[in-house]
Structure 1
């Protein structure tokens, strides 16, 4: 992939924890590395096939100065996500934000933060068997859609299935959505758990009835095994209510562990009804 770089974009703004930083302002410097395929622009000589860095600089300067943040971490995150939201050709952005006048009471050339953000492709499995399940699933998808860092790209049909794991409970409604997100996997987990909590999810019985359940099935082609985060979801190949909606919206998606495409997976002894 190609790169467009902007080095040492100097902006005077009012970010900082201390009142004098907000009142008096100070100098900041941005180094920006945009990962973008420039070949189409080179062949067509059409700027629309690349990034108008002059316009981008003006947009960043306006964004940088219209809001005040306590932390440079917040400023950097806001600018990186702004670029990814408004410049769809940019696959990822690396940003270094310098704060050369930081009030640290000693001589330093600069203090800076480096971050890299990218467009991540993830699949989420949603399920409900308490209350108005269809409405709860709709509300969850709306919450995903409203977030500035996550966009719903595809949504499967609803599937009705018998409960899995603990069978003495109502049938579930399930679906799968494909999202594009700027969040790292751990932060995506926190985000979907917040949606669950806001929609009344409680965790009292393992595999028990629930108003809403949102699982991260896949996150890019990542393989993550942590105490509270397993990606790909460990039960994908055992659950028809995941396989069938995945086959509907992403039949050629490859499971990064088994190496199998979704269309190659099937479970014949589990009843799943597409609604």
Structure 2
């Protein structure tokens, strides 16, 4: 991965906790580190294969002047996220926003915040067995794609599967999505749960019927164990209704704890003759 650096871009802007800072303004310095694949640019010597850092500087200035934020943390995050959206070649951005004229009643050099955003490949299992099942899934996909910081890259074929555990319910429609996101895992989980609520998901019976189910299966190659989240999904290797559609859109993807590809895990499950369950 290549790296383009911008250092100490000076912008007179209007950010600060105190009203006078947002009225009178002050000087800020912005440094940005841009990460992208520069191999083609290196060998073609063609600016179209890279990013024009002069244009990036103009964009940074525009972002700084567009709003008046109380916190430089917010201003820095806006710069990061807008750069990620406006320059599709970027894989990661880190921004340092310096405030050398901060209202601190003592001698100091400067204060600054640093914010980073990086695209991560995430795989999400989707399922529904109530109402318009396909409509529920399509609505969930649309809501994800409309969320800032989430881009839906691939959608698998939707497959019909029998219920497991609590069997007195309708069959399920299941599939998998590949998204890229800069949202941290916990923030992405919260958004997925919000979408479930918007689509009237109710958690009354374990393994029971549901309008929509969204499960985070893989988040890059990260291994996460918190009170609310376990990734990779701890039971994905036993679920045909996860591995079949996941293999369709990402069979080559590496499972970080099983140390096998998704396709290999699917073959192992087929050999075991395991039954689907939800």
Divergent runs of 4+, >6 A:
none
Cα offset, 1:269, TM superposition: 4.2
* Pair 18,131 (structure 1): closer, same or farther in 2 beyond 3 Å: farther
Cα offset, 1:207, TM superposition: 2.1
SS in 2 for 1:258: coil
Query: Take 2:189 and 2:176, find their aligned partners in 1: how far apart are those partners?
Result: 16
Unmatched tracts of structure 1, length 5 or more: none
What do residues 87-111 of structure 1 show as CA deviations (whole Å, max 9, x unaligned)?
Answer: 2222211111112222344433222
Q: TM-score, normalised by structure 2?
A: 0.92
Taking only aligned residues, the RMSD between alpha carbons, in angstroms, comes to: 1.7
Cα offset, 1:219, TM superposition: 0.6
What do residues 199-254 of structure 1 show as CA deviations (whole Å, max 9, x unaligned)?
Answer: 22233333222221111100111111111111100111111110110111111112
Which residue number corresponds to residue 70 of structure 1? Answer: 70
Moved more, 205-214 or 237-246: 205-214
Matches within 5 A, 1:61-210: 61-210=61-210
Cα offset, 1:115, TM superposition: 1.8
2:4 is aligned with 1:4: yes
Which residue number corresponds to residue 238 of structure 1? Answer: 238
* Pair 108,166 (structure 1): closer, same or farther in 2 beyond 3 Å: farther
Q: Is the 8 A contact 2:238 2:274 kept in 1?
A: no
Query: Take 1:106 and 1:166, find their aligned partners in 2: how far apart are those partners?
Result: 66
Cα offset, 1:18, TM superposition: 2.5
Q: TM-score, normalised by structure 1?
A: 0.93
SS in 2 for 1:141: helix
Moved more, 118-127 or 168-177: 168-177
Query: Take 2:185 and 2:236, find their aligned partners in 1: how far apart are those partners?
Result: 18
2:35 is aligned with 1:35: yes
* Pair 46,228 (structure 1): closer, same or farther in 2 beyond 3 Å: same
What do residues 51-70 of structure 1 show as CA deviations (whole Å, max 9, x unaligned)?
Answer: 10001101111122112222
Matches within 5 A, 1:205-224: 205-224=205-224
* Pair 106,193 (structure 1): closer, same or farther in 2 beyond 3 Å: farther
* Pair 78,233 (structure 1): closer, same or farther in 2 beyond 3 Å: same
Moved more, 109-118 or 35-44: 35-44
* Pair 271,37 (structure 1): closer, same or farther in 2 beyond 3 Å: closer
Aligned pair count reads 272
Moved more, 46-55 or 182-191: 182-191
Query: Take 1:162 and 1:105, find their aligned partners in 2: how far apart are those partners?
Result: 68
* Pair 70,199 (structure 1): closer, same or farther in 2 beyond 3 Å: farther
